[in-house]
């Protein structure tokens, strides 16, 4: 691990172990770098190469018969120890009929890698993983416990003949460590995998985080301050998707992380004034629908207008949100093109009278549209009329306004939205100048806004891995900013 660290580890009843800043931190300042204890496939992955996590079909390791995509990946350290286990036990990966479907056989890989890492370095295990929360009692009540017992615990201990090295209670504990503490990370092969980061796992959760993390190509993680942080302040990471309504975030955190969040955002029915959970009332003209108690999963939702008596249940709200989310998921599966844009615009019109204009679900659609305008076939930037350039800019600003409240500071999503915003601002200014609506001096002034967008986008995104999409955009933003500055200087 790197020597840079600006945190202390404390403990209390609410968070268990948690991190606090050990000095005043500037926005963007590196707090620590963490090395993964292990990396491996997520539960319910399709067959992936166990070296690079690329999709693989009918290509197996010559020694153990488990999926690898090349001789190079067969020889990786990540696969080496498990290869010896499978080879010794003569347990091979069973061929599947559909190589795009989930393969429960791979569910054992990440737990096995954790166990083998424990065996290699028991002191590190004792220091970093033994203390991790597993929520064993709560997990025992879940159907997944019995599934893990068969697919992972019994498989590794009995079929792979590891009983002399690891007992079944330990294997279940490892399953719990992964379920509660693992972080989903992008892989070089393009598929998400999961990793255990000993330091990052200690960071407490908040739905308004003050730190951000960046995964590098070697799976190390850099953790930075998103906003200025005072010495002694708790370092908060967001464990869930930021653009989700409270009822969805609460359900996810309870299901996957075994706790109820009571942060300031969750406590406030208006979500800090963003209205990411607010619906319009169908029974009166001016009312909006909010939960009476946003921390109560069974709270009644009612209209805010005193004279309106409309009420609905949390169960009805969850059902409605699930139906609408399914529509969004279907749109997200479309290839970028005219249809993907037109369906999203139709979606926003369809639900205009149902959701508050800043509700999380339509906002997530606006987020997608902000990126599609200028990229989809038939909607290239240089083809967009001024009306659609203004539309793209408005979509970017709507997302940025929400982020200012719920994900303040130098976050990846903010960097990407600022990059998207610079283009319509630049094209609109040039269009107005070309039409004779503004002078050259006014054009120079107007182009300062896209320069500011590019400068901040580059500052944020250049910290990402240079080979990932965000890192590439960061480099492009830097180059575009320099070119735009030169273009302004060349104006006589």
Nearest CA to 222 out of 489, 476, 466 is that of: 466
> Which position has the token pair 């989903």?
184
Residue 55 and residue 47 in contact, taking contact as beta carbons nearer than 8 Å: yes
**Which residues are 7's β-sheet partners?**
21
Nearest CA to 461 out of 469, 471, 451 is that of: 471
Those residues whose C-beta lies under 8 Å from the C-beta of residue 79, and which sit 6 or more positions away, are 50, 51, 61, 66, 68, 73
Tens-level pLDDT at each residue, the chain (492 residues): 446 789 999 999 888 899 999 999 999 999 999 999 999 999 888 899 999 999 888 899 999 999 999 999 998 888 989 999 999 999 999 988 888 888 899 999 999 999 999 999 999 999 999 999 999 999 999 999 999 999 999 999 999 999 999 999 999 999 999 999 999 998 877 788 999 999 999 999 999 999 999 999 889 999 999 999 999 999 999 999 989 999 999 999 999 899 999 999 999 999 999 999 999 998 988 899 999 999 999 999 999 998 898 999 999 999 999 999 999 999 999 988 899 999 999 999 999 999 999 999 999 999 999 999 999 888 999 999 999 999 999 999 999 999 999 999 999 999 999 999 999 999 999 999 999 999 999 999 999 999 999 999 999 999 999 988 999 999 999 999 999 999 999 886
- pLDDT given at position 3: 60
Pairing label, strands 236-237, 204-205:
parallel
- pLDDT given at position 492: 61
DSSP string, 37-74: SEEEEPTTPPSB-TTT--B-SS-B-TTT--B-SSHHHH
Pairing label, strands 183-186, 192-196:
antiparallel
DSSP string, 146-166: HHHIIIIIIIIIIIT--TTT-
* Torsion from C-alpha of 45, 51, 56, 61, nearest 10 degrees: -120
CA 68 to CA 136: how far, in whole Å? 33
Nearest CA to 282 out of 359, 353, 361, 360 is that of: 353
DSSP string, 180-213: HH-EEEE-TTSSEEEEE-TTGGGSEE-SS-SEEE
Cβ neighbours of 150 (radius 10 Å)? 10
CA 281 to CA 140: how far, in whole Å? 41
């Amino acid at each position: 691990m790197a020597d840079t660290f600006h945190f202390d580890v404390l403990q209390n009843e609410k968070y268990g172990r948690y991190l606090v800043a050990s000095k005043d931190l500037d926005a963007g300042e590196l707090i620590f770098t963490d090395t993964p204890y292990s990396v491996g496939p997520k539960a319910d992955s399709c067959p992936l190469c166990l070296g690079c996590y690329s999709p693989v079909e009918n290509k197996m390791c010559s020694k153990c018969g488990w999926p690898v995509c090349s001789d190079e990946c067969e020889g990786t350290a990540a696969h080496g120890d498990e290869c010896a286990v499978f080879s010794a036990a003569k347990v091979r990966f069973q061929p599947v009929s559909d190589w795009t479907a989930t393969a429960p056989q791979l569910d054992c890989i990440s737990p096995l890698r954790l166990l083998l890492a424990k065996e290699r370095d028991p002191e590190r295990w004792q220091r970093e993983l033994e203390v991790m929360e597993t929520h064993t009692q709560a997990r025992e009540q879940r159907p997944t416990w019995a599934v893990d017992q068969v697919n992972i615990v019994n498989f590794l201990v009995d079929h792979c003949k590891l009983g002399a090295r690891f007992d079944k209670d330990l294997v279940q504990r490892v399953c719990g460590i992964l379920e509660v503490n693992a972080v989903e990370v992008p892989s070089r092969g393009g598929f998400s995998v999961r990793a255990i980061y000993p330091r990052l796992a200690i960071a407490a959760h908040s739905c308004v985080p003050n730190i951000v993390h960046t995964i590098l190509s070697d799976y190390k993680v850099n953790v930075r301050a998103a906003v200025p942080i005072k010495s002694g302040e708790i370092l908060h990471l967001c464990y869930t998707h930021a653009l989700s309504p409270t009822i969805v975030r609460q359900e996810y955190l309870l299901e996957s992380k075994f706790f109820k969040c009571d942060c300031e955002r969750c406590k406030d029915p208006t979500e800090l004034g963003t209205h990411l959970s607010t619906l319009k009332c169908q029974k009166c003209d001016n009312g909006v629908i909010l939960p009476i108690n946003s921390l109560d999963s069974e709270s009644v939702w009612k209209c805010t207008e005193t004279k309106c008596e409309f009420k609905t249940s949390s169960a009805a709200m969850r059902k409605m949100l699930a139906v609408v989310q399914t529509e969004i998921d279907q749109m997200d599966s479309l290839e970028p093109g005219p249809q993907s844009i037109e369906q999203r615009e139709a979606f926003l019109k369809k639900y205009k009278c149902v959701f508050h204009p800043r509700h999380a679900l339509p906002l997530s659609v606006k987020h997608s549209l902000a990126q599609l305008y200028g990229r989809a076939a038939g909607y290239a930037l240089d083809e967009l009329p001024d009306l659609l350039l203004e539309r793209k800019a408005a979509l970017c600003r709507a997302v940025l306004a929400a982020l200012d409240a719920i994900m303040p500071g130098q976050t990846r999503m903010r960097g990407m939205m600022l990059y998207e915003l610079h283009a319509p601002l630049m094209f609109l200014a040039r269009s107005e100048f070309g039409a004779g609506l503004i002078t050259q001096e006014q054009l120079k002034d107007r182009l300062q806004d896209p320069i500011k967008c590019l400068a901040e986008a580059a500052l944020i995104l250049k910290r990402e891995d240079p080979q990932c999409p965000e890192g590439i955009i960061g480099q492009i933003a830097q180059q575009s900013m320099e070119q735009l500055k030169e273009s302004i200087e060349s104006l006589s």
